[in-house]
Each structure stands twice: as C-alpha cells, then as structure tokens.
Amino acid sequence: MKRHINIIITAVASLLIVTLAGREFIKNHKKESNDKSSTNVSENTCEDIPDTSISDTSISDTCVADMNTSDTSTSETEILKQTYENNKEQFYISEIPDDIFEKMQGKSYKADCTLPRENLRYIHVLHVGFDNQVHEGELVVNKDIADDVLEIFKELYESGYQIEKVRLVDEYDADDEASMSDNNSSAFNFRFISHTTKISKHGMGMAVDINTLYNPYVKTVDGELSIEPANGADYVDRSKDFSHKIDHDDLCYKLFTEHGFEWGGDWTHSKDYQHFEK
C-alpha cells in the first residue's frame, strides 16, 4: 500500500512539474509576443520563445523560437505541441496573395503557364530548422493537395522533424538547381517535362521536394550518372548513414505516403529521394 502511495505521489509531482513548466513557457511566450508585436525580428537573432508577428520583409532567416529550451526530446515535442497550439494561426492556406503572385511572375509562374492562379494555393507554415529553431516557411501548391501539405507540415513540426529551408523557389529565380543545392524544400514551379508538352508534377503544383541536398534526384543519362543538385553526390549512396536522409523509416516518407503521395525513392528508372507527388 505504502509503495502505491509513493508511486502516486511521484506521478502527481511529475505531472505538476510538467504543467508548471508548460505554463511558464506559455506565459513567457505571450509576454514576449506582446512586447515584440510591433517590431520585426532581425536576421539571425533567435529568441528562445516563439514570436507570432509576421514581418512583411523576407521571412527566410527569421528565427521564431529556439528549441534548446529543454533536456529531452520528449519535452521538446511537448513544447512544439504547445507552440503549435499557440501558433495555430501560423499554419494556414490562402489564395495566392497579390504580392506573392507578383513575385512569381516570370519565375515559377512563367509566361506560358497554363495553370490558372485560382488552382494554386499559398501555404504558410512553421518548421524546425537544422539549427533546432523554429522558422517560418512558405509553399505554393495545387489546391487539390493544399490540405494534405498543411497537415503534413503541422505533423512534421510537432514531431520536431528538421527541415532546413522552406522558401518559395522564386527566391532562387525559379532555378531548381540553385534551390536544391541550397537544400531548399519547395513545391510549385511551372515547367513542361523535357521534350514533351506534358506539364511536370511540380508544374501542376502536385509535388513537394524535402531537404533536397541530402535527398538528390539520381538518374542515368547516356550511361552517365546525373545528380541533382550536383553538390549532392555525397548523399547518392543510400546505404550510408547520415542525417536528413529520407528512406522508408523516415517520418516524412510515412506522412506523405499516408496522405496518398508517391515517393520518388520508390521509382525504378530513376531515384528522386526528395520528391513526393500525387
């Protein structure tokens, strides 16, 4: 009996500690958000608590929160869940805003683009970077997969899955190689499949590439191995162990396939380890 009481006391004490820590976190977060609501977060200044304000300048390097606030990965996941609850409004889908559409012109939305703007959606997310801090991310996808992609990014975020950059490919002048070699994760980029009039899955906004440098696109062209991005050669051998590798055990693979996507790593004639399409 006494042992049972001890166990109960320990359990209650643990619960209390977790609850108090959570409350403190939320309190700090709210206070900080209020303090900073009218100011922009400068580049490379990372706060240890989330900031809900969105500046209208480039969001690329804005650190929203530092995840190094706890000792164990379990409590980090708890904190991420709490920050998700407090930052739900940071995960949203909208029609393509005018300023974004402007930015896409002649880049991802080329002059010959046959896909109407109404078929595309802008997605805003938070993601945990390689620096273990929370960053804002932006994607443009087909409206048909917008809900799936938002849900997947929400789950990746809550699990603390690291994605280095989620920027619009327009920031790289829609140059895929430049975006991939910078390990950028992105989706829509209008183009036809080489030597055809068929629009590629990215051109339809129906494909998403994740951690592109570590998960290159590998194919054999005229007997020679082609690697995209070219600086991804170290990550072609998938039997090697390295961080950010997408394989069948990876959470990204699991979530995308659960949502009905096909993984390019399962293709036979080429391997596109970064690529998920519907």
- Determine, following the binding rule CB under 5 A, whether residue 271 of this chain makes contact with Zn ion: no
User: How many residues belong to the chain?
Assistant: 278
| Interatomic CA distance for residues 259 and 267, integer angstroms | 18
Q: Which residue has the tokens 């320990």?
A: 10
Distance (Å, rounded) from C-alpha 266 to C-alpha 273? 8
Smallest separation, CB 209 to Zn ion (Å):
4
CB of 271 to Zn ion, least distance (A): 12
Least Cβ distance, residue 217 to Zn ion (angstroms):
7
C-alpha triplet 200, 154, 169: angle, nearest 5° = 35
Query: By C-alpha distance, which of 245, 44, 250, 209 is closest to 135?
Result: 44
Closest residue to Zn ion, based on beta-carbon distance = 275
275 is a contact residue toward Zn ion (CB under 5 A): yes
Per-residue x/- track, 178-207, Zn ion (CB under 5 A): -----------------------------x
Using CB under 5 A, pick the residue from 209, 214, 215, 255 that binds Zn ion: 209
Which residue, among 75, 73, 71, 83, has the nearest Cα to 18 in the 3D structure? 75
Stretch that binds Zn ion, among 36-44, 233-241, 253-261, 269-277 (CB under 5 A): 269-277
User: Does residue 135 bind Zn ion (CB under 5 A)?
Assistant: no
Both tokens of 159, joined, read 């699990």
> Which residues in this chain contact Zn ion in the complex, by CB under 5 A?
207, 209, 275
